[in-house]
Amino acid sequence: MKFLIIINRIGLLGLLLILKSLTSFSQTDMKKELFVKQIRNSKTSSLAEVGVLLEKETDLQEIAVVNWDAFSYQPEVKFRIAHNKDQIWLKFYVTEEHILAKHIKTNSATHKDSCVEFFVDPEQKGKYYNFEFNCIGTVHLAYGAGRHDRVFIPAELIENNIQIVSSLGDTPFEEKSGAYSWEMTVVIPMSVFIHNPQLQLQQLTANANFYKCGDDTSRPHYLTWNPVGTERPDFHQPAYFGVLRFE
């Protein structure tokens, strides 16, 4: 009876608007948190050694949230993350039906290929770095407050500092269909965070999200680690980032 009285007073449209706002609030309020372990290693580690240490010292995390029903295809995507005080270490594991790798130029449209991504706001103030890696290790990296307010990190800086290796190699190819699994290890040094020159990883609390996409593949998809509550696929949504707590 009380429910019917409420509908009579505010109308059905008003009720729907209230429910929508409550749903949006719950999605932005529900942020995943992830502890990022510091791996203490006395020597400089190769990419192969980084991969081994990540598998030994860290737990697998999933990029498995399907936020948009129109893009329901769900590859299996997992990752590991750690740091060594001076670098962020990542390892991605992907199993999918279609792989594509056309882009070889740094800061090109890697999201159109088979791509994994790491967006991080190190100051929790809304400005973030979008690290986007296609499946052969081409990097797209920019900084800013939103999709349309971004400044590229210089390509030379990226190429000379970010270390990356993919099990698919680094040669571009047209789409291949079947059952493919690939892995990628990435080492991100502090030197590429040029808009935060005083950034220190130890004890850092940052906002972040992890993604998997493939815009130009036969089955476009947009998976996220932390849920995103927009009407259409949009990874440039810092309000929906989760939280990383660095040891």
Where along the chain do its domains lie?
Answer: 1-30, 33-246
The CATH classification number of 33-246 equals 2.60.40.1190
Are the C-beta atoms of 243 and 204 separated by less than 8 Å? no
Structure tokens at 159: 């190429």
Task: Give the pLDDT confidence of 86-107 residue by residue, as tens digits.
Answer: 999 999 999 999 999 999 999 9
Judged against a pLDDT cut of 70, whether residue 16 lies above it is answered with no
Tally of CB atoms within 10 A around 23: 11
Q: Which residues contact 34 (CB under 8 A, 6 or more apart)?
A: 61, 81, 242, 243, 244, 245
pLDDT at 41: 83
Distance spanning both ends of the chain, measured CA to CA = 53
Angstrom distance (rounded) from CA 171 to CA 190: 27
pLDDT of residue 30: 76
Confidence of residue 6 (pLDDT cuts 50, 70, 90): very low
Angle at alpha carbon of residue 117, lines to 116 and 118, rounded to 5° = 140
In whole angstroms, what is the distance from residue 169 CA to residue 183 CA?
A: 10
What 8-state DSSP symbol labels residue 235?
A: S
pTM: 0.88
Find tokens 């992830």 and name the residue. 34
